[in-house]
Homo-oligomer: A and B are copies of this chain.
């Protein structure tokens, strides 16, 4: 095979993947799947898309080998193809952060934005070791069950208001959720502060933690 021909072909292969990453809708799907496997219908509900449209986007992601489907009777369960895909998604996001100043601004424009800088992941490990803080997972319980940080308590954002009495007032509370661009943890921090707790949010969320190969509870192995 000639060199030129070879190059054309490999770049076309790479572009298949790039192309799959080139739609906001598909990235949203990928981001949800980074939290754990989902059925088509669940994805449609969470993204306000029609089922057919979701299915179509999933085909594109599947042809790029970014996601895999498994049939469970009448349902199809989709998941990320492997953790390298998660790396790719997080790398893409961090490049975006780095390069697009508007992104940080968008983040700050949100009502519940927490001004204070988040707790670094390394520091969290120290805090938990010393039992100097309580860690809450504010994602929906389904995602908590699929996998969560060690020593974290599941406290989905929608249940939090009624479950405040379960939390201590003598130690700081650290909240995490789906990642840097998920707002559950910010909402939790805002609410807790209003109620007189000391609260902070973790830097990053479940996917960032897991991608760094830190200790986790659950069996989130994608394959």
* Chain A residues within 8 Å of B, Cβ to Cβ: 1, 3-4, 6-28, 31, 48, 64-66, 81-82, 84-85, 87-88, 91-96, 98-100, 102-103, 106-107, 109-111, 181, 183
Is B21 a contact partner of A18 (Cβ separation < 8 A)?
yes
CB distance from A187 to the nearest CB of B (A): 9
Is A95 a contact partner of B106 (Cβ separation < 8 A)?
no
Residues of chain B contacted by A19 (CB below 8 angstroms)? 18-19, 21-23
Please give the count of copies of this chain that the complex contains.
Answer: 2
A65 closest partner in B (C-beta): B99
Q: Which 6 A-B pairs have the closest CB atoms?
A: A18-B21, A19-B22, A65-B99, A22-B22, A11-B24, A15-B24
Given contacts A88-B91, A96-B17, A98-B82, contact A106 B27 (CB under 8 A): no
Given contacts A6-B106, A19-B22, contact A14 B88 (CB under 8 A): no
Residues of chain B contacted by A22 (CB below 8 angstroms)? 15, 18-22
| A18 partner, pick from B11, B27, B48, B82, beta carbons under 8 A | B27
CB distance from A86 to the nearest CB of B (A): 10
Residues of chain B contacted by A3 (CB below 8 angstroms)? 110, 183
Residues of chain B contacted by A1 (CB below 8 angstroms)? 106, 109-111
A90 closest partner in B (C-beta): B91
Is A21 a contact partner of B21 (Cβ separation < 8 A)?
yes
Contact sample, A vs B, 10 pairs, CB 8 Å cutoff: A1-B110, A11-B27, A14-B92, A18-B18, A18-B21, A18-B23, A18-B27, A22-B22, A85-B95, A88-B92
In the complex the two chains form, what is the Cα distance from A142 to B1 in whole Å?
27
Is B9 a contact partner of A93 (Cβ separation < 8 A)?
no
A23 closest partner in B (C-beta): B15
Residues of chain B contacted by A16 (CB below 8 angstroms)? 100
| A110 partner, pick from B6, B15, B85, beta carbons under 8 A | B6
Residues of chain B contacted by A98 (CB below 8 angstroms)? 82, 84
CB distance from A84 to the nearest CB of B (A): 5
In the complex the two chains form, what is the Cα distance from A102 to B9 in whole Å?
10
In the complex the two chains form, what is the Cα distance from A64 to B102 in whole Å?
12
